[in-house]
Amino acid sequence: MTLRSCSREKEVRELVLRGQWPQAAGDELREHVAACRSCSDLALVMPTFLAARSQSAGSAVSGSVVSGSPGVLWWRAQLRRRKEAMERIDKPIVGAQIFAFAITIVIAAVFFVSQVRQGAPWLSARWLPLQWLDRFGHLPHAVSDYLAGLWTSASAMPVWGLTLGLTGLAAVALFSGVVLYLDRQRQ
Amino acid sequence: MRWEFAMENVAAGEAPIAAELHMDNDAFAGFYERSARPLWAYLARVCGDASLADDLMQESFVRFLCADHPQDGEVAARKYLFRIASNLLKDHWRRAKSTPIDDVPEEIFAVSQPSGQSESRAILDPALALMRPRDRQLLWLAYAEGYSHREIAEVTGLASASIRLLLFRARRKIAALLRDQSAGKRGAQ
């Protein structure tokens, strides 16, 4: 199918839009439209669609097809917007909470292990993590070696330094959440 | 720990800036009054189902209110509304496609006739039912709403360059169908 539009389509379109087709069209234009496929298509299709549009709009009013008042829609939109705003606010806070919780668990674990290493009287020596690692005999050697190395290097650090570092990380995580929250609220 | 204390104003209805709508109730009522009928007509013609058109129209207005729509006049706002409605139609067709064919009720395949049948609709509806949804969309936007090719591209999300050809083909097809309908009707009389 070749795309060949006619230069006289514009005249036909204007007459149809004014509701004056074919009454106000000259004989010459009518003859052209009768002979031109593109213009005759336009002269047939456009008035049909315009009539259908006005009839649909009419039935929308008379047949109460357009249900739902603008007030109800506005209220629904406001509820949805608030819900979205609350979700947006909640998201960084929940993230920061999860991160802070994870850091707390790590700090607690480090504290527990340091107590064991220092021979805390309330803990039995048989709970030493290195002995735990021995129980992972079924793990591949690379993994158990890595865990043992990790434990050795962690225990070599001063405990207070490690705790301070992790507490600092937790604080940064919490502040990031708060900054993100404030930024979202500003937006 | 919950953070309701930080959102007391949200819950109490004194929404912070992020939760405010971009149009107040009165302005929206006016906009709705002027836009609802053309939008419903577009949706009803393209999807061929009056009750679905109702649902999609309401959802379009709600999304329009929630979105950061253009603030440069009613024409742009209406175009944006039609764009939302077109995307909803697209989503609807996509969902319908993903449903196994055996689960789809028979009525879905037939284009139901909205109430208030008249002569031009009696000719147009059967012809439109034989067209592809995208062609119905293009034809309605071009000849009922009077949108330019560029505006149709914005509303439908199709490439601006392809609109001319698609519309030309769709018009040729529906013109042939309308002629057939008219000839069939005259023959029956």
- Lowest-confidence range among A118-122, B81-85, B160-164? A118-122
pTM over cut 0.95: no
Which residues in chain B are closer than 8 Å to A92, comparing Cβ atoms? none
For A119-158, the pLDDT digits (tens) are 655 555 455 555 555 555 555 566 556 656 666 665 555 6
CA-atom Rg of chain A in angstroms:
39
The CATH number that applies at residue B169 is: 1.10.10.10
Instruction: Give the pLDDT score at B22.
Output: 72
For residues A49 and A91, membership in a common domain is answered with no
A41:B175 CB<8 A = yes
Nearest CB to A65 within list B19, B50, B123: B50
A93:B3 CB<8 A = yes
For residues A50 and A79, membership in a common domain is answered with no
For residues A139 and A176, membership in a common domain is answered with yes
Nearest CB to B123 within list A37, A48, A74: A48
For residues B122 and B105, membership in a common domain is answered with no
For residues B103 and B127, membership in a common domain is answered with no
> Does the pLDDT at position A79 exceed 60?
yes
B8 in a structural domain:
no
Instruction: Give the pLDDT score at A100.
Output: 72
Cα–Cα distance, A98 to B131 (Å, whole number): 54
For residues A48 and A103, membership in a common domain is answered with no
For residues B93 and B120, membership in a common domain is answered with no
For residues B149 and B94, membership in a common domain is answered with no
Q: Per the structure, how many domains does chain A have?
A: 2
Which residues in chain A are closer than 8 Å to B140, comparing Cβ atoms? 49, 53
For residues A134 and A43, membership in a common domain is answered with no
Q: Per the structure, how many domains does chain B have?
A: 2
B116:A84 CB<8 A = no
For residues A47 and A110, membership in a common domain is answered with no
B5 in a structural domain:
no
Residue with tokens 């939302």, as numbered in its chain? B84
- Among B59, B83, B109, the domain-final residue is B109
> Does the pLDDT at position A57 exceed 80?
no
B4 in a structural domain:
no
For residues A78 and A27, membership in a common domain is answered with no
Q: State which amino acid sits at residue B4.
A: E
Chain A CA closest to residue B122 = A52
For residues B87 and B58, membership in a common domain is answered with yes
Confidence class for position B24, pLDDT limits 50, 70, 90: confident
Q: How many CB pairs under 8 A join A and B?
A: 156
For residues A29 and A81, membership in a common domain is answered with no
Cα–Cα distance, B145 to B142 (Å, whole number): 6
Cα–Cα distance, A147 to A182 (Å, whole number): 40
Torsion of CA A35, A37, A43, A45, to 10 degrees: 150
For residues A74 and A51, membership in a common domain is answered with no
Q: Which two tokens stand for residue A44?
A: 């047939």
Write out the residue range of the structural domain in which residue B185 sits: 116-189
For residues B22 and B98, membership in a common domain is answered with yes
A2 in a structural domain:
no
With a CB cutoff of 8 Å and minimum separation 6, the contacts of B90 are B157
Write out the residue range of the structural domain in which residue A15 sits: 9-62
With a CB cutoff of 8 Å and minimum separation 6, the contacts of A22 are A15, A30, A33, A43
For residues A80 and A33, membership in a common domain is answered with no
B138 in a structural domain:
yes
Which residues in chain B are closer than 8 Å to A98, comparing Cβ atoms? none
- Among B90, B109, B128, the domain-final residue is B109
- Among A34, A62, A90, the domain-final residue is A62
For B85-128, the pLDDT digits (tens) are 999 999 998 876 655 544 544 444 444 444 444 566 678 888 99
Instruction: Give the pLDDT score at B136.
Output: 94
